[in-house]
Amino acid sequence: MSNLLTVSEAAKLLGVSTKTIRRWDTEGRIKSIRTEGGHRRFIITDLIGNKQDNSLTVAYARVSSHEQKDDLERQKIVLQAYCAKQGWSFEVISDLGSGLNYRKKGLIKLIKLICSDQVERLVLTHKDRLLRFGSDLIFTLCEIFATEVVIINRSEGSTFEEVLAPDVIEIITAFSARLYGSRNSKNKQIVKQLKEIADQLK
């Protein structure tokens, strides 16, 4: 059996997770043989043709407004450096828009890639860069399609108020913009007051 690969060895060769190898085997996308103990084993030559399948890492960056473009560039730099350091083949997808907007061009592209089984790994700087609310829906899709989720910065020390304040501001900003118009002085005053309240909560 020395000329055969284990599940973990096959995963390393193809650059995917062991979970993906098992799923591909179940779906018939790759061939395996079984040991007397029922363990999967793979012949190297059978795997070579699949080496580039499903090995894409997608790094996703987002900011809410044009005033945050510098932050968007910083996110991209961090994501690129992180992925390069890991030796991953990657693509960066970015959006400029509200975390409450589910119809952003980049987000839609990301979802399509995941659902077409092309993404091995999703990398974010922070969880809320994906969506303010609803990130878990995307993470569930990742789980279904065996896409690993890597969050570079997992903030553990924030208080409930610190986490909630930006979300509340974004929600009220979105609704007040619809009511009064984004350039209306009343809307600007509301946003200013909300930001002052948020600063007091920090």
In whole numbers, what is the pLDDT of the chain averaged over residues?
Answer: 77
Whether 60 and 110 have beta carbons less than 8 Å apart is answered as: yes
Residue 44 and residue 79 in one domain: no
Residue 72 and residue 117 in one domain: yes
Residue 116 and residue 76 in one domain: yes
Closest among 20, 25, 31 to 55, alpha carbons compared: 20
Residue 78 and residue 60 in one domain: yes
The pLDDT assigned to 110 comes to: 92
| Integer Cα distance of 37 and 199 in angstroms | 62
Residues belonging to the active site = 64
Q: How many domains does the chain have?
A: 3
B/e letters for 35-57, b = 16+ CB within 10 Å, e = fewer, are: eeeeebbbeeeebeebeebbbbb
Tell me the CATH number at 30.
1.10.1660.10
Euclidean distance between the first and the last CA atom of the chain, given in angstroms as a whole number: 61
Residue 91 and residue 32 in one domain: no
Residue 61 and residue 138 in one domain: yes
For Cα atoms 55, 124, 120, give the angle at the middle one, nearest 5 degrees. 15
Range of the domain at 174: 160-201
The two three-digit tokens of residue 13, written as one number:
């060769």
| Predicted model pTM | 0.56
Collect the ranges in the chain with pLDDT lower than 70: 1-2, 48-55, 99-100, 132, 154-202
| Integer Cα distance of 109 and 100 in angstroms | 17
Radius of gyration of the chain (CA): 22
Residue 40 and residue 108 in one domain: no
Closest among 109, 106, 83, 81 to 96, alpha carbons compared: 106
49: helix, strand or coil: helix
Residue 63 and residue 146 in one domain: yes
Site of tokens 């979105």: 174
Residue 101 and residue 142 in one domain: yes
Residue 45 and residue 61 in one domain: no
65: helix, strand or coil: coil
The pLDDT assigned to 52 comes to: 46
Residue 114 and residue 38 in one domain: no
User: What is the tens place of the pLDDT at every residue in 103-148?
Assistant: 889 999 999 988 888 888 999 998 888 876 778 888 998 988 888 9
Instruction: Name the CA dihedral angle for 135, 92, 77, 131, rounded to a multiple of 10 degrees.
Output: -20
The pLDDT assigned to 174 comes to: 56
Q: What is the 3-state secondary structure (H, E, C) of 73-85?
A: HHHHHHHHHHHHH
Residue 43's contacts (CB-CB under 8 Å, 6 or more residues apart) are 3, 4, 5, 31, 33
The pLDDT assigned to 9 comes to: 87
